[in-house]
Amino acid sequence: MNFREKLSTGRILAGTFVKTSSADIIEILALSGLDFICLDAEHSAFSRRELDWSLALARALGLSAFVRLSHGSADTILQALDGGAAGIVVPHVDSLATARQVARRSRFGPGGRGYSGTTRYGGFSTRGMAEILREEEKNIFVIAQIEDPSALDNIEEIAATPGIDALFYGAADMAVGLGLDIAGTPEVEAAFSRVAAAAHAAGKPLAAHCGAPVGLAGLKEKGVSLAFVGSDQGLVLTGARAIAAAASD
């Protein structure tokens, strides 16, 4: 079952960010029952080669793997999708022009993603061009991260952009952009509601992050379909703190 098929079940899908370049981490998470992982190339030190083998391993294990890009340039989008990512998360999509550009760069054709059948996405020349082009929309999922106050002025247009498949509300960056030093404020929650309303009106799934599983209930109440919960680093830290706390009792 590919990612779009999972999403069509209507239940909330849960995954986590992966910030550590480790085959063992991906193998362990593939055994966990998570719906997806997201390799965080924006806020961690993944090289292109590390992203490539990470995507290969996740694909071999049947685990949907997204890549959060450092930016929405043509080359970073091409590399992630050619590598076999289930989709991409593009930061700082704050205008209709940017949304259209990201959507275009994620698809084959003029002004868009360059075509090659020799990539992992193309089955290393085992899939025909007609099949690859025909199944493009089934196999690519583009998430626009909404995390700038300026994006709120254009949120309905961004949400309605063909080729933008979901919106990801970035509460932390939104708070910083609003001049705040904490995300749980009325201003940040009001922005969340605006993004949620725009996604709903456009018939697009809503994604968001919470730091721990306890936050999932709140995300469900806000209409989130894709929950990015914590990270591999957070899971290790939480487990280690639990051991330390138990030892000190």
- The string of DSSP letters for 81-120 reads HHTT-SEEEES---SHHHHHHHHHHTSBSTTSBPP-TTST
Contact between 66 and 85 under an 8 Å Cβ cutoff? The reply is: yes
User: pLDDT in tens for each of the 249 residues of the chain?
Assistant: 778 888 888 889 999 999 999 999 999 999 999 999 999 999 999 999 999 999 999 999 999 999 999 999 999 999 999 999 999 999 999 999 999 999 999 999 999 999 999 999 999 999 999 999 999 989 999 999 999 999 999 999 999 999 999 999 999 999 999 999 999 899 999 999 999 999 999 999 999 999 999 999 999 999 999 999 999 999 999 999 999 999 998
- Neighbour tally for 82: CB within 10 Å: 19
Which pLDDT score, from 0 to 100, does residue 2 have?
Answer: 79
Domain count, the chain: 1
Contact between 134 and 141 under an 8 Å Cβ cutoff? The reply is: no
Helix, strand and coil percent figures for the chain, each rounded to 5: 45, 15, 35
Q: Taking the chain, what is the end-to-end CA distance rounded to the nearest angstrom?
A: 45
The residue count for the chain: 249
pTM, to two decimals = 0.96
Which pLDDT score, from 0 to 100, does residue 6 have?
Answer: 86
- The string of DSSP letters for 143-162 reads EEEE-SHHHHTTHHHHHT-T
| Residue 223 zone, left/alpha/beta (φ > 0; ψ -120 to 50; rest) | left
Backbone angles phi, psi at 37, to 5 degrees: -125, 160
> Radius of gyration (Cα) for the chain, nearest Å?
18
Helices and strands, number each (H, E), in the chain:
13, 8
> In sequence order, which residues have a C-beta less than 8 Å from that of residue 221 and are 6 or more positions away?
none
Active-site pick, 43, 71, 92, 200: 43
> In sequence order, which residues have a C-beta less than 8 Å from that of residue 105 and are 6 or more positions away?
72, 73, 74, 77, 78, 111, 112, 113
The b-or-e profile of 203-235 (16+ CB within 10 A means b, else e) is: ebbbbbbbeeeebeeebeeebbbbbbbbbbbeb
Known catalytic residue at 43: yes
What is the CATH number for 234?
3.20.20.60
Which pLDDT score, from 0 to 100, does residue 249 have?
Answer: 80
Domain with 17 in it: 3-248
Which pLDDT score, from 0 to 100, does residue 69 have?
Answer: 98
